Structure 1
Amino acid sequence: MSLSEVFDPDILTLPLYDDAHRALAGEIGQWCGDRAEAWASPDTTDPAAVGRAMLTDLGRSGWLHHLDPDQPDSDMRALCLKRQALAYHEDLADFTYSIQELTAAAVSRHGTAEQRRRELPGLADGTRAGALALSEPGAGSDLAAAVLEATPEGDGFVLNGTKTWIAQGDIADVCIVLARTGDGPGPLGLTTFVVDGHAPGLKAEPIGAIAPRSWAELTFTDVRVGPEAVLGERGQGLVVALDTLERARTTVAGAALGFARRAFRLARGHARTRRAYGGRLADLQLVRSSLARMDVKLSAAALLTARAALATDLGHDHAKHASTAKLYATEAAGEIVDSAVQIFGAAGLVAGSPMERLYRQVRSLRIYEGSSEVIEMTIADAL
């Protein structure tokens, strides 16, 4: 597999990246390419089991080792490159990788030394699955409306309520849970907790989705946790949650690039070989125009993603850049995949085909880590 299949080499050579990033791109691209044949026909009957196997492989191969506090950290540009390669090749590999990153980021950025020592090594070697339990049936994007209760009892808390659309919730060994401790009105009354995914009273019910992934609804019934479970400061749970999601937005843009670039390459290859109207599809002006628009969107998304990642790595104010990259890249990915299906025609609608899978897989990117509408409001507030 050539590097140019997954990445735009012209963008990788820009000063936005350094030699270490270019080497990483080659390594993760090759690692994924070695698994391409096995991933070509994924088993979608049990996404939780597939996700667990993916997690084991990612951990064993060292792609999560930077999550261990005793190992060198990974910068944002590297995270985006890894997600781009994983998403290009296999949705569940990217999905699993991203949720481990989210969970570990919450602990590493806001946890105590003991919490980091206890939770991060298992997340880093792939032996423990993480989950970020924020959304509720009545509180999706509006996290401040969360109502799951954490009632003080002795020096600990008792959790009761429901979380939904929790990625990896059905295989999670550790959950980062946003709960209401009542320390103040609205967002001031929220606290995050590190909760054992197998704690008594915690039940996970898998949720089916249009793209097979490990989603679950979590029900907490008198789940008891000690004072050591509080992540960050009591009453600052929304700060922890938003900080974690905000930093992840740039990596979502990286994943969107992977999905979109795969769709573009498939559509371009099909147009070059499909005979139509006495020639090739690629000779038709409207098809050529569609491919050109797709290429422009890919370039713009890649540059916006690199800018946001670099701003984060340099310690600059990156919130607006991250939101801009996430909004543009995910919306563009949806448009590119849709245009690719149009070029394939009926062949792009065949169940289980790469194009059909991409069409289902890319849709959720415009919702999680902040829906496009919420992201637009975030950008507007920063103007």
Structure 2
Amino acid sequence: MNFQFTNEQEMLRKEIRRFAREKLEPIAAEVDELDEVSWEVAKMLADQDLFCLLTPKEYGGIGPTATNVCIAREELSRVSGHADLLFAETGLCAFPIRTFGTHAQKEKYLTKFSKGEAIGCYALTEPDAGSDVGGLQSTAVLDGNEYVLNGTKCFASVGPFAQTYVTFAKTDPDAGTKGISCFILDRDTPGFTGKQMKLMGPHPIGELTFTDCRVPKEALLGEPGMGMRIAMSTLDFMRMSVGAHAVGMATRAFEEAISYAKTRKAFGQPIAEFQNTQFKLADMAMELDAARLLVYRAAWMRDEVTERVSKEASMAKLFATEMAGRMADLAVQIHGGYGVLRGTTVERLYRAIRQPRVYEGTSEIQRMVIGRHILS
């Protein structure tokens, strides 16, 4: 049993860490407070060829693996949540296209993703259909050689700013989840509009509306009725990387806590000398290691053992995101008053870390997935 990265994976990790430290760190405090896309950051990611981690070689990428995606997300999130978001959301859009798309669809969209010429958006959630995907109300009616889409999506990350969208609608409303289909849209499609939503933590996100939105039959991804399968397989692949994102943020919170504890003095000594502080740091180190192991176990299984890792991916996402919340809270506590001072790193992390426990399947949904696998 080997708990080490391969030489290639370790090189990738070091290269992304160097890039994040040298290029992203100087602007992270600014861009991580944005509610719109920083195209400067998007270009940096493209220049570093990071989007190539999401696409196959024949379309300009290097061949995506779950482990490499997790490495990238952990290292980016350690420095800039905004950079990670642009990478991850494009990954959510690229995965269903590369897995279920035709050659023409892959050539059109994946090549642009590889070059960083387009940012993708994965639009699944609706005002009355979040965890219950089968309850979505958007429809797509075939009219000659076109589908006519009507409906509303919400909480679509980078939604108002992306160029390419993967979205879901019912082509057969009477067939339940088997009547859901998946479509690829371009931003300039007539009848499509997007507007921003504001969250408690900075996050480019929005509501998307389709009003008699006509797309060609060629915009259908996969076959009619395959939407639920496409949605779930995409979440299966990307869900463990949400855990990596949480590990990255938790790592930064841990590092900030250690640094502050060593330099902050109280009662004549650094607060790191107090047993109470040491106990907090010990718990943080233990939980961080456990979360990282769950994340990379799931990624390794996806790459080397089986494509179906629903239970392992849910365990990784659930534990890592809830762990990160506890880590951020402890980091703020160790900082005392400076921990809640607007603009400090731990304060920014504290606001940002709450969201991953909700998106791409809430903590409750992860427990349902795990429970069903245990009992099946």
Q: TM-score, normalised by structure 2?
A: 0.95
On the 8 A contact 1:176/1:192 being kept in 2, the answer is: yes
1:350 Cα deviation (Å)?
0.9
Per the alignment, residue 223 of structure 1 pairs with 213
Per the alignment, residue 262 of structure 1 pairs with 252
Per the alignment, residue 318 of structure 2 pairs with 327
Describe the shift of the 1:250–1:204 C-alpha distance in structure 2 as closer, same or farther (beyond 3 A).
same
Partners of 1:72 and 1:236 in 2: how far apart?
A: 27
Matched, 1:363 2:363: no
Per the alignment, residue 49 of structure 2 pairs with 62
Matched, 1:35 2:26: no
Per the alignment, residue 159 of structure 1 pairs with 149
Partners of 2:111 and 2:25 in 1: how far apart?
A: 31
On the 8 A contact 2:139/2:149 being kept in 1, the answer is: yes
Per the alignment, residue 9 of structure 1 pairs with none
On the 8 A contact 2:53/2:68 being kept in 1, the answer is: no
On the 8 A contact 1:67/1:101 being kept in 2, the answer is: yes
1:212 Cα deviation (Å)?
1.5
Describe the shift of the 1:45–1:27 C-alpha distance in structure 2 as closer, same or farther (beyond 3 A).
closer
Partners of 1:14 and 1:361 in 2: how far apart?
A: 33
On the 8 A contact 1:183/1:235 being kept in 2, the answer is: no
1:289 Cα deviation (Å)?
0.5
On the 8 A contact 1:39/1:89 being kept in 2, the answer is: no
Give the secondary structure class of the aligned counterpart of 1:172: coil
1:41 Cα deviation (Å)?
2.9
In the alignment, structure 2 segments of 5+ residues that lack a partner are none
Give the secondary structure class of the aligned counterpart of 1:204: strand
1:161 Cα deviation (Å)?
1.0
Per the alignment, residue 8 of structure 1 pairs with none
Matched, 1:346 2:333: no
Per the alignment, residue 195 of structure 1 pairs with 185
Give the secondary structure class of the aligned counterpart of 1:185: helix
Describe the shift of the 1:352–1:381 C-alpha distance in structure 2 as closer, same or farther (beyond 3 A).
same
Per the alignment, residue 104 of structure 1 pairs with 94
Per the alignment, residue 275 of structure 2 pairs with 285
Partners of 2:126 and 2:28 in 1: how far apart?
A: 34
Partners of 1:355 and 1:374 in 2: how far apart?
A: 28
Per the alignment, residue 143 of structure 1 pairs with 133
Describe the shift of the 1:298–1:124 C-alpha distance in structure 2 as closer, same or farther (beyond 3 A).
same
Give the secondary structure class of the aligned counterpart of 1:176: strand
Per the alignment, residue 175 of structure 1 pairs with 165
Moved over 6 A (4+): none
Per the alignment, residue 71 of structure 2 pairs with 81
Per the alignment, residue 370 of structure 2 pairs with 379
1:68 Cα deviation (Å)?
4.1
Partners of 1:366 and 1:46 in 2: how far apart?
A: 21
Per the alignment, residue 7 of structure 1 pairs with none
Partners of 2:54 and 2:261 in 1: how far apart?
A: 42
1:39 Cα deviation (Å)?
2.1
1:346 Cα deviation (Å)?
1.2
On the 8 A contact 1:173/1:197 being kept in 2, the answer is: yes
**How many correspondences in the alignment?**
370
Give the secondary structure class of the aligned counterpart of 1:313: helix
Partners of 1:284 and 1:294 in 2: how far apart?
A: 16
Measured on the aligned residues, the alpha-carbon RMSD in Å equals 1.5
Partners of 1:125 and 1:286 in 2: how far apart?
A: 50
Q: Please, which moves more after superposition, 55-64 or 157-166?
A: 55-64
Describe the shift of the 1:188–1:40 C-alpha distance in structure 2 as closer, same or farther (beyond 3 A).
closer
Q: Once the two structures are superposed, what CA deviation does each residue of 1:175-199 show, in whole Å capped at 9, x if it has no partner?
A: 1011011164210111000011221
Give the secondary structure class of the aligned counterpart of 1:334: helix
Q: Once the two structures are superposed, what CA deviation does each residue of 1:294-331 show, in whole Å capped at 9, x if it has no partner?
A: 00001101111111110001132422111111111111
Of 9, 13, 22, which aligns to 2:10? 22
Give the secondary structure class of the aligned counterpart of 1:47: coil
Partners of 1:296 and 1:18 in 2: how far apart?
A: 24
Partners of 1:355 and 1:183 in 2: how far apart?
A: 46
Give the secondary structure class of the aligned counterpart of 1:73: coil
Amino acid at match of 1:132: Y
1:74 Cα deviation (Å)?
2.6
